[in-house]
Structure 1
Amino acid sequence: MRLSLIAIGRQKRGPEYELFDIYRKRTIAQGRSLGITAVSLKELPEAAAGSPALRQDDEAQRLLQQVPDRAVAVTLDERGRELTSEGFAEYLKAWLEGGAPEVSFLLGGPDGHGQQVRDAAKLVLALGRMTWPHGLARVLLMEQIYRSVTILLNHPYHRA
């Protein structure tokens, strides 16, 4: 199974990007034994439309075009479900065991997601009720994906 983070906006090189990449590489290395074959990042430019609603619609269409057929779409949204790390790991396990070819995590632009992105998602996930800068949200998500892999492998990284 492949994992992809599809994000609106570009992450500048720096500490957040480096930390994201550390967890991405760890996920690839540890996840192979679970059947995770790739972890990728696709960045799309922010919409330039004049209103938040038009920007959301434009970004939603472009995000959803990047989700492969048969992929599980997971939308990150502050109004989504808050899960424990173990609960998130259970979702990952179910997608692996269910034969999902890819899980695509969708991260919206500064105006948030259009409704069509939330509607298309198998899971609308919150990283908490606070709003995070996108660079940090990427790191938090990638760390939780890595943590989920270690939970499924009974690796000592996660000590709850």
Structure 2
Amino acid sequence: MKLALVAVGQRLPAWAETACEDYLKRFPADWRVELKAVKAEPRTQGKTVDAMKAAEAQRIEAACARGVRRVVLDERGTRLTTQQLAQRLQAWQLDGRDVALLIGGPDGLADTLKDGADETLRLSDLTLPHAFARVLLAEALYRAWSVNAGHPYHRE
């Protein structure tokens, strides 16, 4: 199984880039985990929010492999504990499809992406800055992997 974190926005603070890369490289070699950053639509006058989200949705679609399980990250998604995310990770492995976890831009994700998602999860009840959301997702996935692998990273 391949996990792809597909996120709108290519410019992140150095601390976020470093932290995200650190968590992603901790996965063992047999786990293929990658970050795919897609260009955010410029926030210029004359474009509606829906038009900007639609342009970003096209870029997200292009970054996702055909047949991939699409998991949208949204504040209205299902709230999971670490143990529940670990169980979800196991279920995704058994499903056999690659997984794309989608993080929207400043205005969120287009409704077409939300409506077409296989699942919708939330990272927090809070609205998070995009840089922090990427780091939090990378860490949460690594922690869930560590639970399933019996690795000492996660402690109850």
Question: Residue in 1 aligned with 2:8?
Answer: 8
Q: Percent of aligned pairs with the same residue? A: 36
More moved, 141-150 vs 45-54? 45-54
Q: RMSD over aligned Cα, in angstroms?
A: 1.4
Question: Residue in 2 aligned with 1:147?
Answer: 143
CA distance in 2, matches of 1:53, 1:70: 25
Structure 2 residue 80 is matched with structure 1 residue 83: yes
CA distance in 1, matches of 2:145, 2:19: 17
Residue type of the partner of 1:41?
A: L
CA distance in 2, matches of 1:158, 1:11: 30
CA distance in 2, matches of 1:76, 1:83: 12
CA distance in 1, matches of 2:69, 2:23: 21
CA distance in 1, matches of 2:80, 2:13: 29
Tell me the TM-score normalized by structure 2.
Answer: 0.91
1:78 deviates by 1.0
1:120 deviates by 1.7
* Unaligned segments of structure 1, at least 5 residues: none
Structure 2 residue 39 is matched with structure 1 residue 45: yes
Structure 2 residue 102 is matched with structure 1 residue 110: no
Alignment of 1:49-128 (within 5 A): 50-100=47-97, 102-128=98-124
1:68 deviates by 0.9
1:12 deviates by 3.1
CA distance in 1, matches of 2:148, 2:11: 29
- What SS class does the counterpart of residue 76 from structure 1 fall into? strand
Question: Residue in 1 aligned with 2:133?
Answer: 137
CA distance in 1, matches of 2:12, 2:129: 13
1:146 deviates by 0.2
CA distance in 2, matches of 1:78, 1:13: 23
CA distance in 2, matches of 1:94, 1:120: 19
C-alpha distance 86-11 of structure 1, shift in aligned 2 (>3 A): farther
- What SS class does the counterpart of residue 81 from structure 1 fall into? strand
Residue type of the partner of 2:120?
A: V
* Unaligned segments of structure 2, at least 5 residues: none
